[in-house]
């Protein structure tokens, strides 16, 4: 049994109504990353200097050496950039992603964060790359980050964002019981993950509405580009909110990047632009997490992709008439969260059916009953077939109508060798009889294909009824 862990469907075509406070059309969530003093540096016990997100294009780590230029760029963020941003944002409810070791080296800045209506979430112990870190090392760093964060701020962090994450980061953070985790870029709304026995809320972050693109190839070259991109994102999401599918907009900031004079005006202009709109909710991530937990609590259910084979076949074995083998084969496929819906599981069953030998598909066709035939009269149809035939009134035919159907059935079987199959729920008595006439003109090859497609349609309707 192969299972694909990535969720490629999420909320699907129709996103839930987040029910933002005061019927807001958008939630705007600003993050200030505080990393200065927590970056790679041999003074911090690291093997080399920092090389990420600075003004130095193409910077490389210097093993065993301090990098004066890099260090002073980061120092600018703490010494000047932070205070410039604090003056602009101090009256807004924003979230700080605070690296624990960076905050421990910046008590004045932490005091200013706490004086403002800001939430301080954990940004891990150090601003370093964790992709190659041993699981136990990363776990120990997360635990140390919580302890140090609590020592420095006086409060345990409610949220967590590792940033330069490993494949283990979200699971390890979930083990520590955070109210939310932000290490995801997968959606415009919060969502739940089931991690072991824990239901973990994820409040996704952004790498596009992020000033880090001032320090990346093909990023922002000037403040106006940043401003234009933020406004375009806001406009699109605000429009979706007006149309009934409200979302969340994340904005990512760094003291050493947008804190520069030549960039701060773009952020200032964007905030002013947002304030010209009604029904906007500025919120911290903790506020969004609390709101989501209240209005969209997680409910666990039996997901098809996680069912044992016996349970899967018991639930879906009758979707293809008297052909449980279709469900058995589907269960052996690579299933994942995208298959935990009527469309998803229908696709898996259809693949199993379509990939089977012609003789096997013919057996499925022959497993179907005649319409208004002897089995119906004897009340020996499956529960699904009984309900389907009744939906078109085939259980209440006059003697003349029943005779018409029986003659049509006989002519069809005599020509093609299998019963006439049609998704009855899509039709009336009259349209079924017209379909009989039309399809009797088909060749065997054409009608075999048509009958198979109708089998799949019947399966899709049955799945819609139970999921």
**What is the rounded CA–CA span in Å between residue 17 and residue 287?**
17
**CA distances (Å), 44 to each of 47, 97, 101, 126, 143, in order?**
9, 19, 9, 9, 18
**What is the rounded CA–CA span in Å between residue 442 and residue 447?**
6
- φ, ψ at 99 (rounded to 5°): -70, 130
DSSP state of 370: P
How many Cβ atoms sit within 10 Å of the Cβ of residue 324? 14
Among 123, 149, 368, 427, the one annotated catalytic: 368
Pairing label, strands 180-181, 159-160: parallel
In a 3-state reduction of DSSP, which class is residue 193? strand
Cβ-proximal residues to 197 (8 Å cutoff; 6+ apart), any chain: none
Q: Yes or no: say if 172 and 135 are a contact pair by the CB < 8 Å rule.
A: yes
* Separation of first and last alpha carbons in the chain: 23
For the four alpha carbons of 316, 319, 323 and 329, in that order, the dihedral sign comes to negative
**What is the rounded CA–CA span in Å between residue 118 and residue 153?**
12
Both tokens of residue 292? 């989501």
**What is the rounded CA–CA span in Å between residue 164 and residue 124?**
10
**What is the rounded CA–CA span in Å between residue 5 and residue 7?**
7
Which is nearest to 274 in space by CA: 29, 85, 84, 86? 29
**Active site (annotated) includes residue 134:** no
Which residues are annotated as catalytic? 368
């Amino acid at each position: 049994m192969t299972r694909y862990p990535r969720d490629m469907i999420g909320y699907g075509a129709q996103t839930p109504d987040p029910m933002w406070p005061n019927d807001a059309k958008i939630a705007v969530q600003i993050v200030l990353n505080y990393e200065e003093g927590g970056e790679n540096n041999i003074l911090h016990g690291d093997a080399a200097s920092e090389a990420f997100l600075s003004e130095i294009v193409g910077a490389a780590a210097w093993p065993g050496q301090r990098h004066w230029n890099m260090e002073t760029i980061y120092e600018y963020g703490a010494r000047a950039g932070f205070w410039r941003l604090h003056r602009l944002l101090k009256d807004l409810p924003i979230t700080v992603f605070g690296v624990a070791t960076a905050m421990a080296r910046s008590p004045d800045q932490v005091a200013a964060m706490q004086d403002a209506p800001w939430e301080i979430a954990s940004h891990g112990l150090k601003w370093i790359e964790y992709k190659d870190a041993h699981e136990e090392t990363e776990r120990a760093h997360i635990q140390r980050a919580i302890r140090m964060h609590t020592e420095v701020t006086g409060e345990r962090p409610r949220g967590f964002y590792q940033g330069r994450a490993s494949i283990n980061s979200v699971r390890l953070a979930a083990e520590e019981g955070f109210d939310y985790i932000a290490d995801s870029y997968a959606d415009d709304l919060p969502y739940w993950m089931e991690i072991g026995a824990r239901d973990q809320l994820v409040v996704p972050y952004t790498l596009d509405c992020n000033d880090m693109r001032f320090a990346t190839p093909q990023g922002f070259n000037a403040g106006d580009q940043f401003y234009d991109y933020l406004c375009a994102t806001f406009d699109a999401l605000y429009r979706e909110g007006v149309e009934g599918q409200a979302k969340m907009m994340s904005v990512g900031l760094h003291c050493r990047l947008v804190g520069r004079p030549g960039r701060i005006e773009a952020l200032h202009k964007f905030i002013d632009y947002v304030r010209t709109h009604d029904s906007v909710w500025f919120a911290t991530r903790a506020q969004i997490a609390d709101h989501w937990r209240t209005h969209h609590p997680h409910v666990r259910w039996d997901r098809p992709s996680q069912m044992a084979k016996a349970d899967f076949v018991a639930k879906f074995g009758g979707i293809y008439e008297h052909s449980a083998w279709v469900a058995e084969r589907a269960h052996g496929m690579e299933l994942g969260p995208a298959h935990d819906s009527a469309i998803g599981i229908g696709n898996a069953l259809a693949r199993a059916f379509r990939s089977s030998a012609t003789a096997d598909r013919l057996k499925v066709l022959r497993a179907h009953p005649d319409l208004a035939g002897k089995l119906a009269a004897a009340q020996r149809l499956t529960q699904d077939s009984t309900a389907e035939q009744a939906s078109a009134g085939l259980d209440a035919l006059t003697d003349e109508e029943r005779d018409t159907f029986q003659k049509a059935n006989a002519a069809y079987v005599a020509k093609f060798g299998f019963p006439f199959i049609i998704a009855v729920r899509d039709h009336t008595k009259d349209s079924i009889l017209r379909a009989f006439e039309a399809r009797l003109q088909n060749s065997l090859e054409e009608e075999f294909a048509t009958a198979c497609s109708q089998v799949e349609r019947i399966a899709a309707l049955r799945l819609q009824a139970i999921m």
